[in-house]
Structure formats: structure tokens, C-alpha cells
Structure 1
């Protein structure tokens, strides 16, 4: 919301010396987010005056049309003689009043002006366009002023070129600040000054002579005001002051009627819509759309309507999307000149609509049609329903005053009953919340400045104003008092931390895993937990894959990603792709986060009342309706794991690194993993490891290289490898303390063993048998060679292991090490059908 300081002063008598920055500081202390203070005309220097075009000579022989003009600028040039100016614009004629900048002046940029020779003539100044004066982006032609201004009049003051404009980011709970009225109220409270409320107007009561309106959906539209103005001069133009105020708000002036509706919306906060009465067929109706209905909106788009859309209709059908955008069939016609008669033709009879719509319905319609508008932005944040009559009256008054129209006596108002909201609050509640003493008088005064009516002593009965639908709770009122008194005045005190048990077992495990992966060279990333069907398609998941069963959001941030994730891989691979696209080719990243796994028939969550604490049964029903949310960790690698350099070629990241990352996670959780070959999308079927907790059949995740089709679909480097592990399953048997390795001072005994097994036998199974057979003396086992060939036979492979034996209390003898080796080999032979190579 842009707020010109000159306009704001009409409603609040700010001290004369107050600058935009000083006002911004006050508003920021009151809780508003003032982003910038724009200094309009800060580098503008006159003379800049009104000029009257006396003569125009068309110069020929140049690539573009050039005009040599003499312009009367009064006494502004010091001589009273006509000013000689060369100009290329063609939208003015002899007798027109224009804006002239004279030599010695400086235009925004800065752009100094001096007399110069151009196109064979002297140009002592310039006839200005709106863009050259910093009034907007219109550069189609120069500014033509109304004829009543005298030559030599100061154009800087006339066009209000010097001003300060505050740009405020209005949060969703402060929709009333999307108007000059709302910001003026905040400024008045900040300075302790009275407010001249622009909505306090004398409005005639509703009667039976107004335009006929029927509201079929009083929930979607609880108030509708209609006023009619006839006899409008279609050739009437918006005055300069009105155009300038719109331009400062970054609203482009269009035509007088449209400009007035925009002006009143910005002033009062109530969106208006104007209909050409001659193009409205019968009574106006407010209803929901019917199946198959269409509407062509003012932007020219033909829209398929949803049965949830709230419409404005007449006998011909829809004529507007309520609260969002009007329809093209009843729009106000731009004035045009009849070439035969010279008469200006346009809309002369106008129906003004000022209504109050359901915020949720408007927000959903605007999002459904991807049609955000200034009106919908206000309706979805909450518009003052009591301002409808005043806003309509303000528009009628301006049409009568500027366009020469006549307001018809009929006043239509359809209003559903609004219950009075009263909040009971202890007078000392703000004191308790802020930890400082305000006192009952201060609390009452601040609430009244907000617009509340307050009654009572120790217990206050507070009725919030109609423009503050966000005030629903005693704590809301306490916050209003605290913010108006200044957040910076609230004392800083450290809270007393109650004694507790420290981190939970799951929290400790989560931290250990993150530290372990970071120590292994992985960088942590965080991604949004949303995805769509396209993510599953890219991963190559089958139609019946359980990961495609998702929890869908009713109101997603992105329509293409309406579901909560069931796997961390889409977000992680997306982060990998973005980083590679930015030149980071060697990457190792990880993410820990929740996934959301619904049941086949997920229970529907109940809606408990908000005026009390939910019962235990209600809480249990809410918990039962939540999907299962296990904590997972995933890693992704691409590029070189070991960098290349003068020492030689580096090592490319591979499936083995992903498996090792999984082992790192398991070690941090105090668990040993068993690794065996698996097949699970989106991994390569021949390079996918299934991860199990050692000694169990519990699958906790997968690791390996991505399928080539997935790599191609996601535009990732070849051999990209990933792992995903369920951290909750790693500790399903309870949290076990993580013990550090025992360091023995006695020497190690190394024994090698080579076994021939069938090619289909997993190396992990052989390793498990060797580990179990070796007993307690085995310190470590490592597979250091895999061999296939004629020497071992067809369909066979040779696995060579290095076994390290060590005791913690003595030096092992050769016989003890050999006995442990033989026990390990015997176990492997018995369990896997292995043959000792060389035996």
C-alpha cells in the first residue's frame, strides 16, 4: 500500500515539519512494515510552468516529424516573450495548455535543461511528457492541461510533483491498512491526534426506489449497496488532483468513472464497481455459478466458471466475478468523439456497486482463476461492511461534482444481520502479557484509538470495530495496546527455563546423524514438503506404488504441487539440479525431514470448537486423523567425490559412496547395517542396495545409483547416486547408547581368506557368516577382492576377505588367530555353500 504524505495530511493534521521518514518510524513502532519512503521530485528544480501553444511549424526533411513551436509562458522567462521550443510530440495543437520546462531547470534523473540548437532551430526549453516529469511511464505524448490554467502558473505545485510516498507491506491481519483511511487511523494513534474519517458521511437511508437487487446467497454476500447516477458528461475528464493521487499509488488513470471508483477504494478501503446501466438487463442478482457457465471478464479472458464462484448476474447471465473483476458486457465505455457530429459518446448512466463478500469465497475464486486484483486483495483480507454506504455515497458525490451527473433518489441496501461481537478482557491483561504496567486508563484509551467501544472497570467489555475482523480474542486486544504503546518499550527479560530431561532420544539421534553426515563432507539442505504427480513420474514410480498415495492440501501454495511428500528424493534431487545449474558440479548434500504416509482409508479430522480446550476424545480423534509421519534422511551425490589435482585424477562419486553414507547414518544411530542387493525405484536395478538392521529382516532404506531414465528425466549428471533411510526404523527396538570404539594396546593378527561361491550369493551374506563364526576376537572384516573367470568356474565368483583379530587383554597367539579364522570359514561353508579357494 502506497501512502502519499500530502494525501494523508487531509485526514490527520500532522505537525508541519514531520517528514516521511519520521512518520515511517512511528508506524514501524506501531507494528506496520514500512518498506521504503520514496522522495518524489527530490531532484526537480524549476522553472516548470504552464504554457500556451501559440504557433506550430512543421519541419520537414528529417527522419521523424519535428515541430517548431512558440509557447506563451507568461513572465516565467523574465521577458514575457513567447518561448521558442522544438518538440517531436504530435498530440497537441495551437491553443492547448502544456507543461514547459525552461532553461536552468533540472528534471528528474537528474536531467539539466539548457537552450540549444537542434534541427536547425533554437530550442529554449522542453514541452514535457508524464514520464519526463516522473509522473508515470506514459511517454506516448506530452501532457495537455485543462484550458483554465493561466500561462506562467507554477506546474510543480499544480501537478504535485514534490511529495513523499510511504510503501507499506500490509500483513494479512491488517487489511484495513489497504486504504488511506486505515493508515491515517494508525498515524493519528501514533501521534495522539484526531482523525478526520473519510467514511463519516451523511448517507440517505435505503428506500424502495433503488435499483432492484436480489441476493440468493446471503452467506457469500451479506451486504449489497447500489446507487445510480444519471446525466453524466461522457467527455468529463478526471481532474489533475485525482489523476496525480492515483499515479502516486501506481494506479493508471483510465476514465473519470473508473478513476473515481479506484480513488474511493484507495481512500476508504471499500472496492467499488461501476456498471453502465444501459447495458444491464433487468435486476442485479448475486448467486453461485451454475455448471458450464462462462464469463468474459474486463481483461478480455473467457473463463470457465466453477460452481463455487460467486457471481454478479442480470437476466442475460453473469456480468461479473463478485469481488474479483467485472464482466466485459456491462463495462463503462471509454468516451469517443463522433467524427460526424463532434459529440463525445460514452456511458452516461452508471450503477455503483458497494458490497461485502465472504473473504474465503473471494480468495478461492481469485486463486482458482489466477486473477488477483486490487479488489480481491482487500476482500480476502476483510473489508469494513459498515463502509459500503459511505463509499457508494462518496463515489456518487464525486460523479455529481466532477461529471455533472444527477444522483437518483433511490438507495438500495440489502444487509444480513451482523451479531455484535463483544470480548471480555481483564484490564490488567496487557500488563501481564508485556510484563510492565500500563494501567486501566491507558488500556481503555488505546483500545478506543483502535476504534473499539469500551465499558467496565476491572473487567472491560470491548466491542471491536467493524473494520477489525481480526480482533476475536482478549490476547488480540492486549496486542493492540502493547503495539501502540511501543514494542520497544517492552522490557527484555530472559524467561525462566523449567528443569527438564534435555533432548529426547529421537532428538539426540537426529543431531548425531546430521553431525556425522556433515563431518563426512555432506552439506545440509531444506526443501518444501510439497510435490505433485510430475515428481513421481520423473522418478519412474509405478501407478500402484504406495508412494503415490498422498495427503492433498485443500489450499496448496502451488496447484502443481498439491500434496505432501512421501519421499525426500524429489526435493533433494531438485536442490541438486539447481546447484548444478549454477556451476556447482561436485556435490554431496543431505536432508532430514518428515514424510507423510496416509492410510488407505484415512479418517476425517473433526472440527473442535474454538471457545474451549478440546476434550481428550477430540484430541485422540485429531491424532487418529493424522497420517503416519516418519523421520527420514536422504543423501545425493554427483560429480567428483575426491577432487582432481596435481596429484592425479580424482574419484567419481558412485553407488558405493551412497552405501557408505547409509553406513555413516547407521553408525551415528548406534546400529549396524546389513547390505544386500535390491530392486526398488528409482534406483538402477543392478546397482541398488537394500539396507537392513543387522540380525533382522527390517528394511530401513535403500542406496545406490539412480536409474538412467530418472537421471535423464531430471537432467542430472550420469552416475548420480542417492540413499534414503527411515531414521525411526533404525531405533525401533529402543534407543541404545552409542559406545565409542575400544582401543587395544595389543598387536593385531591379520588372516586372509578367499572363498568361492555361486555368483547369486550376496557378498553381505558371506560376510555375515564369517563375522558370526569368528567370534569375539574378530575386530574388523573387509572385502578386498572379487574375482570371476575360468579359474573359479562358470557361474562362480571368488570373494577375498581380510580378517583382523585382536584381544583387549592379551597378545593373540598364532594358534588362536588360526582357530578363529577356521571357525569363520567353517560357518561360511555351512551357511553359503562356499568352497575355500586353493583347498
Structure 2
């Protein structure tokens, strides 16, 4: 909302400098975005009266003009503007004037004819982009009047960013109410007398959708002059509010909207048929808007129609066929109340956003339509003439919103705000906000004004009192803290350590949406039916994710498409897995790598990452919790992973910990990924559970190492062989290390050779060869029985 300080001053004499006013508004919840001057600096520009115009002797497009600039003697000016004419009043920059951009006006000769100054367009003064001709001024000001004084250009505009609940401040009247309340100054209420009817002409209105439009006011005005010039003061106020002047019939409705907050519309009476009908659109109906955009409507759209055609998209924009034109003589002026839910979302659905929809979506005072209609009629008849008929109102009173009284306890206000505020002051604030207060003592009944849709419960009133009193005036008080020593699980690993480890490994943390595209989600988890959102922001955010992989893969593709060829990302977050009628929310940590293993360098040849690079990173995470020896890696199939490069991770051979693998090549091609991508996803709670380290006595006797070369089935995981050895129950076995895997010459087909180093050590004595041989014999026998292993010759 753009607020002219001069215009505001006509509503309330706030007595504040503009920056101080901006601070007060900000501290009251109306955040100030910017303060800008309404015009750039310039000097020496006055009103001039053109008293003679003659052709230039040597230039067809130039005119030699004589102007009265109030100095007492005519001044000769050479002008090229096509609209210059005798009797015109226009801005005139005298010799010595300085225009925007530090452009100084000097005496000059144009094609041999002396020129003493310059007649100016609006763009040359920095007031608008209009430069088709001179800026035309009204006839009233005397020649020589300073333009800055005439137009009030020593003004500043405050641009305020309003939250959606403060639609009551989307007008000068609303902002003035706020400023009067904040400063304690009287509000100069705009008196809007009823305009007496000068003719009996009326146009009937029928409400077929009274639940969406419970009140519709209108009036016939005959004999208007659409070519009448909009007064300069109105054009300036519109300009300062960011609205372009389009002629009196449109300018008046825009002005009243800015002044009072009520959007309005004018229909060309000549094209209306039978009656105005407020109804829901029928599926498939079409409407071409004022901006030429054709729409196909549905039953969700509220429209204004007559007996034969659609006239407007209610609360959003009028239709092209019924809009006023330069030939319009008679109009029907509309001022209606549309409930927010009837308009909310419909403009965005059609790709529109208008000043009207912006207000109706947030809520407009239902008591305002008739007052705004009278104000617009008054202004329109003053500017464009016309004969007004009687104002008519079609309404269904039972559906007009009514604010229910709110119970307020002054003691609760003081308790919530942490300050002692006299009840008298609370009452003053509420009355200044337009509320009616009844009751006394510990409980009040507060009836809020019809324009405050946002006030519904006691806490809303407490917030209003705090806002007006000033958030910066509330006391600062430290909360009373009673420390409570909580139990800390020493075995648990803080998730921040996991994130730090991945960052140390070169990963970057990503945050992706919890909502994903349904089709993409199905490619990663085809066996799971994700939860669908009732009202998704877009089709690409339609379901809740059951894995973090879709978001990470999209992020990787985004980077790869921008020539970031080495990507390492991780994310911690929730996945949402339906279980019957419930929704299970699981914390997981997921990661992705693709591209080169290391950044380009001279010390090592570049190579792409592979499965085992990712496996090493995952094992590094598991090692933080001491789980690296308790996690089993087993080759398994996952629909999103490469059939030959995916592993299922289980904890102690029981619960599923997660998955690691390469992205399925079919999915890789479908997503237009130019290189292999490797992924992991682990249960965060299980990775963090950890274990508590315990002291173990170190033996002072020497350790003995025995190496075994075993032949096993080629498909047998080495981890299973190690597990058999470790589970044999020998207390002297301190470690098993796999140091070689071999297939080829000397090894039978379908078999592989595993070279294992066994570390044996006793706490009480040095092991003898006989004791070691017995242990090795037991281990080999157990391997033969459980996994069919034999010693390699």
C-alpha cells in the first residue's frame, strides 16, 4: 500500500516527520518498506499560459510560441510538442531552471529562432513516462505559479507491506484510522452525504448467489461525459498510489477504492439487458476480460451477468463487452460486497491479480458499499456531469457477516503482556480502534467494527492493545528458569556429528521439499502408496515423500545442468510412510554422489566415483557409532537402484538399517542424468543409537598371526565367512582381517580364494604352537561344516 503523506494529512494531522511516522507504523505491525519522494528535484518550473503559436520558418515540426510566465512580459519559446495550442496552460522551465538529471535550461537558438526556456512534458519533470506532448494543466492556476507548489510535489510516499489479515488498511481511510489511534490525534472523518436522485431511472438487480454476495448496491447515471478531463489533483493522488489515470469513469472508481477501500465497477448501461444477475458461472461459459484475456469458467467462479450474457468476473475484473468506452453516455455504477471465500484463489486460478481481488480475498467492510456508491456518484457528477438515479441495494441481510462480541479480561491482558496497563487505557485503545466496549470489572464484552475481519478471539484484542501501546514499549524481562538436569545417553551419537562427518567428506547439506511429484515418487517407491495432499501447491508437489531420494536426485540434476559435474549432497529429514490408516514419520539420513572422486588436480588421475567410494563414506558414518562391525551388507534388489550394484544394510542381522547403491539405469535415462549417480539412505535413529565403549585389558604377552587361504563358493559373501570365524567362541581370537580375494588360474570354476589373517593372543600366557594349531583346526572344521570352505593347497 502506497500512502501519500500529504493526502494522509487531510485525514489526520499526525504531526510526525515522515521517517518517524514510518517507524510508528512498523512498530504497530504495518511494516514500512520504503519512503520515496513523489517527484525528483527540479527548480524554476512555473505555470505558463500560451498566448500565441506560429509555425517555425525553417522547421515543419516546430512552433514559435509566446507564453505568459507571470513575469509581465511575453516570453518566446520554440516548441516541438504536437498538442501545443493558444490558451493552453503547461509547465514552463525558465532560463536558469534545473530539471531532473541536473539538466540546466539556457538561452538557445533552434533553427535560427531564439528560445528563452522550455515547455515541458510530464516525463521531462520526472512525473510519468508520458511524453507524447506537453503536460496540460487546469485553467485555474495563475501564470507564474510554481509547479511544485501547485501539484504539491514536496511530498513523500510511504510504502507499507501489509500482512494478509490487515485488509482494513488497504485504503487511505484505514491507514488514517491507524495513525489517529497511534498518535492520539483526532480523525477527520470524510462526510459523504447521500446524492439526491435527479431522475427515476433504475436497473433491477437479482441475487442468485446471496451466500457469496449478500449485498449489491448500484445506481444509474445518465448523460456522463467520458471525455471530461480528470482533475489534476485526482490524477496526482492516483499516480502516487501507483495507479494510472484512464479517464474520469475509471479514475473515480479507482480513487474511491484507494480512499475508502471499496472496489467498484462501472458498466455501460446501453449494453445491459434486462437485469443484473449475481450468480455462479455455468461450466464452460466464456468471458473476455477488459484486458482482452479470454476465460473459460467453471461452477467455482462467481460472475456478474445480465439476462443474456456475462458482464464481469465478480470481485476481480470486468468484461470487455460491458466496459465503458469513449462513446459511453449512460452507466450503471456497481458497489458490492463479496465474501472472501467466493473470490479467494479464483484470480490466481486464472493467472490474474488485480487491486480488486487483492482486497476482496482479504475482506472488505460489508457496511461500505452504499457509502462508496454515494462518494463515487458525488465525484463523478462533479467531474463528468450526468444525472443520477436513486441508489438501490439488493441484499440478503441474514447472510451479511456480523461480528460476534468477544469476551476480554483486563487482568489477562496484563498477564500476557507482562506489564501493568490501566483498564482505562485499554478501553481508550479499543474505542480508538472502532470497537464498542460494554461491561465493567473483570470481564468486558467487546464488539469489533465490521471492517476488522481479523479480530475473533480474546488474544486478538490483547495483540491490538500491545500493538497500539507499542511493541517497543513492552518491558524486557528474562523468564524465570528452574534448571532441570536431564539424563544424557552417552552411547547415542548426536546427528550433528553425522552431518559434520559428511561435510568433512566433501558433501554439502541440502534441504528439499517434503512434497514431491507423484509420478517421480512412484519410480522410486512403486510398492508404496504415498499420502496425497488435499490442496497441493502444484502437480509437482502433490504427495508426501516416502524417501528423500527424489529431492536429492532433482537437486543433483539441477546442478549437473549448470555444469557442476562433481556433486555430493546429503539431507536429514522425515519420510512419510503410510501404515494402514496411520502415517509413519521416520527420520532418515540420505546422500548422493556423482562425478569425479576428487576435484581436478595434478597429483592423481581423475576417475569417476563408484559403489565402493560411497560404501566407504557410509562405513565412515557407521564407525562414529561403532556400528561398522555390527552392520551386514547384503546384495539385494531395490526398484530405484541398479540390479547389480545395490546393497541392503541390516543391523546385527535383524532390523533393516537402509540401502546403498547406484541409481537404476532406466531411471537415470528417464531423468536425463548424464553420469552414474550413487545413493544411500539410512535410518537416523538406528545410526545414532551407538554403543558405550568399555575398557578391555591389554595382554602383555605376544600376539600370533596365522593366515588362512580358503576356497569358497564364488557367490558366498566374505562377511559370512568372517562371521563364522568370529562366532566360533575362541576367547583368544582378537581379530580377523580379509586381505585378499582371488579368482582365476589355480582356482576351480565357481569358487574363489579368500586370504584371511587371524590374530590370536591370550591374557595369561604366551600361546604355544599346539594351542594355536588346535584353534585353527576348530575354525577350519567349522568353516567346512557351515559354508563348505576348504583350505587352498
* TM beyond 0.5: yes
Deviations 1:386-410 (A, max 9, x none): 1111111111111111110221024
CA distance in 2, matches of 1:122, 1:833: 114
Provide closer, same or farther for how the CA distance between residues 662 and 437 of structure 1 changes in structure 2, counting only shifts above 3 A.
same
Rg larger in 1 or in 2? 2
| Contact 2:521–2:546, Cα closer than 8 Å, also in 1 | no
- Unaligned stretches of 5+ residues in structure 2: none
- Counterpart contact for 1:427–1:457, Cα < 8 Å: no
Q: 1:290 aligns with which of 282, 286, 303?
A: 282
Structure 2: distance between partners of 1:414 and 1:715 = 59
Distance (whole Å) between structure 1 residues aligned to residue 342 and residue 181 of structure 2? 33
**Bigger CA drift: 120-129 or 681-690?**
120-129
Cα shift at 1:657: 3.5
1:166 is displaced (CA, Å) by 0.6
Q: Aligned pair 1:367/2:361, yes or no?
A: no
- List aligned pairs for 1:10-409, cutoff 5 A: 10-15=10-15, 18-52=16-50, 54-55=52-53, 57=55, 67-75=61-69, 80-87=73-80, 89-93=81-85, 95-116=87-108, 124-198=116-190, 201-202=193-194, 210-333=202-325, 335=326, 346-409=327-390
Q: Is the 2:40–2:126 contact (alpha carbons within 8 Å) kept by the matching residues of 1?
A: no
Matching of residue 465 in structure 1 with residue 458 in structure 2: no
Distance 1:200 1:662 in 2: 75
CA contact (8 A) 2:743 2:751 kept: yes
Deviates more, 1:207-216 or 1:182-191: 207-216
CA distance in 1, matches of 2:56, 2:731: 106
Q: 2:619 and 2:669 mapped to 1: Cα distance? A: 28
User: What SS class does the counterpart of residue 43 from structure 2 fall into?
Assistant: coil
Q: Specify which of 651, 659, 662 is matched with residue 618 of structure 2.
A: 662
**Contact 1:312 1:318 (C-alpha < 8 Å) held by counterparts:** yes
Between stretches 196-205 and 703-712, larger displacement belongs to 196-205
What SS does the aligned partner of 1:330 have? coil
Deviates more, 1:515-524 or 1:256-265: 515-524
Q: By how many angstroms is 1:5 displaced? A: 0.6
User: What is the 5 A alignment of 1:598-747?
Assistant: 598=578, 602=581, 627-649=583-605, 652-668=608-624, 671=627, 672-696=630-654, 698-714=655-671, 716=673, 718-728=675-685, 737-739=691-693
Q: 3-state DSSP class of the match of 1:184?
A: helix
Separation in 1 of the partners of 2:487 and 2:643?
A: 40
Q: TM-score, normalised by structure 2?
A: 0.89
Change (3 A) 1:643 1:408: same
Distance 1:774 1:484, change over 3 A: same
The partner residue of 1:792 within 724, 742, 747 is 747
Aligned equivalents of 1:804 and 1:100: distance in 2?
Answer: 102
Shift, 1:481, TM fit? 0.5
Deviates more, 1:361-370 or 1:433-442: 361-370
The normalised TM-score by structure 1 is 0.85
Structure-1 separation of matches of 2:579 and 2:256: 52
Which whole-Å CA distance do the structure 1 matches of 2:492 and 2:360 have between them? 43
Deviation of 1:835 (Å): 4.0
1:312: Cα distance to partner? Answer: 1.5
Distance 1:176 1:818 in 2: 92
Paired with 1:541 and 1:783, the residues of 2 have a C-alpha distance of 35
Please say which of residues 793-802 and 524-533 is displaced more in the overlay. 793-802
CA contact (8 A) 2:403 2:449 kept: no
State whether residues 531 and 565 of structure 1, in contact with CA within 8 Å, keep that contact through their aligned partners in structure 2: yes
Among 499, 503, 526, the alignment partner of 2:511 is 526
Structure 1 residues 212 and 518, CA gap change in structure 2 (3 angstroms): same
Write the distance in 2 (CA, Å) between the matches of 1:529 and 1:251: 40
By how many angstroms is 1:227 displaced?
A: 2.0
1:442-475, Cα deviation, whole Å (9 max, x unpaired): 1101111111111122211100111111111111
What is the Cα deviation at residue 793 of structure 1? 3.9
Where 1:428 maps in the other structure, the secondary structure is: helix
More divergent stretch after superposition (794-803 vs 374-383): 794-803
Change (3 A) 1:463 1:94: same
Match of 1:424 in 2: 407
The answer to whether structure 1 residue 489 and structure 2 residue 483 are counterparts is: no
Bigger shift: residues 67-76 or 806-815: 806-815
Shift of 1:658: 2.9
Cα shift readout 1:473-504 (whole Å, capped 9, x = no counterpart)? 11110111011111111122222345557589
Secondary structure at the counterpart of residue 236 of structure 1: coil
Supply the distance in 2 between the matched residues of 1:642 and 1:726 (Cα, whole angstroms).
Answer: 28
1:599-637 deviations in whole A, cap 9, x for unaligned? 56x5xxxxxxxxxxxxxxxxxxxxx5xx32222221122
Q: How many positions carry a matched residue from both structures?
A: 785
The partner residue of 1:562 within 534, 537, 542 is: 542
Query: Counterpart of 1:197 in 2: which secondary structure?
Result: coil
Whole-angstrom CA distance in 2 between matches of 1:328 and 1:376: 17
Could you give the per-residue CA deviations for residues 657-712 of structure 1, whole angstroms, max 9, x where no partner exists?
A: 3333433444556643221223324322222222222321x333222222345445
| Residues 713/33 of structure 1: CA separation in 2 closer, same or farther (3 Å cut) | farther
Shift of 1:56: 5.4
1:7 is aligned to 2:7: yes
SS in 1 for 2:455: coil
Structure 1 contact 3–249 (Cα < 8 Å) conserved? yes
Q: Is the 8 A contact 1:590 1:634 kept in 2?
A: yes
3-state SS of paired residue (1:589): strand
Tell me how far apart the structure 1 counterparts of residues 106 and 695 of structure 2 sit (CA, whole Å).
Answer: 85
Preserved contact between residue 343 and residue 361 of structure 2 (Cα < 8 Å)? yes
In structure 1, the gaps of 5 or more residues are 336-345, 603-623
Query: CA separation in 2, counterparts of 1:628 and 1:224?
Result: 50
Cα 1:678/1:8, change in 2 over 3 Å: same
In 2, Cα distance between the equivalents of 1:578 and 1:511? 26
SS at match of 1:266: helix
Match 1:576 to one of 531, 556, 566: 556
Moved more, 373-382 or 644-653: 644-653
Task: Give, in whole Å, the separation in 2 of the partners of 1:682 and 1:59.
Answer: 84
> Do the aligned partners of residues 802 and 712 (structure 1) sit closer, same or farther apart at CA in structure 2, a change above 3 Å counting?
farther
